[in-house]
Structure 1
């Protein structure tokens, strides 16, 4: 599902160009090149997550396979070894610098923060209850 949508995007080229524009925005001040690259890389991963979630809105519920594909695209090692939605989403959130808030307890839902996974989390919690 997601791997077909992402193939045309060359990860390295996308991150390189985004890092360049970040450097341009700060007038190429030296010493911040790594920060530009890391921010661009995080932007790339967040773009993949947004793409994944928008595909879910049209194509239906998330699956273990689709989450494993997303995790692999983000660079998580051995996503095929993870066999639950919560484990995969938690790993994706951690890898992209977010607090892993994908929980099974309704009292632990991310009500007070903006979470891209909120709708999917609610669906799982609803199914559990």
Structure 2
């Protein structure tokens, strides 16, 4: 599998979405936005899959993920919680990862970080 950049992935995905829609002009912006959202979700899913295998979130891994999804200055963020919350912000989610807002989180069913969040909540309750 070739190494593909963020912009290449978005461009190609948006193109194929537009092709399926017979290049409807009013859908071009939607296709790009949907492609970008799919890219970000895919990157997060890949990372979390690797975390599940390895068993732990790492600062370096989160910084790489954050950079890959467009978080500016990710290398300067040194707390894992802050990195995940920055990723949640960029994906238009409530930045509630491992915070007191977790119990009131409205993203419960759609949040990719839910399992990792629950692990910490279980540790807090011990």
With the shorter chain as reference, the TM-score category is 0.7 to 0.9
Higher normalized contact order (CA 8 Å, seq sep 6+, divided by chain length): 1
Check the 8 A contact 2:94/2:107 in 1, yes or no: no
Aligned CA-pair RMSD: 2.3
Unaligned runs of 5+ in 1: 1-5
> Within 5 A, what are the aligned runs for 1:25-36?
25-36=20-31
Unaligned runs of 5+ in 2: none
Taking structure 1 as the reference length, the TM-score comes to: 0.81
Name the residue aligned to 2:56: 61
Q: Structure 1 stretch 114-123 or stretch 25-34: which is displaced more?
A: 25-34
- From the superposition, tell whether residues 57 and 38 of structure 1 become closer, same or farther in structure 2 (CA, over 3 Å): same
Find 2:44's aligned residue among 30, 45, 49: 49
Taking structure 2 as the reference length, the TM-score comes to: 0.83
Residue-pair matches, total: 124
- From the superposition, tell whether residues 65 and 110 of structure 1 become closer, same or farther in structure 2 (CA, over 3 Å): farther
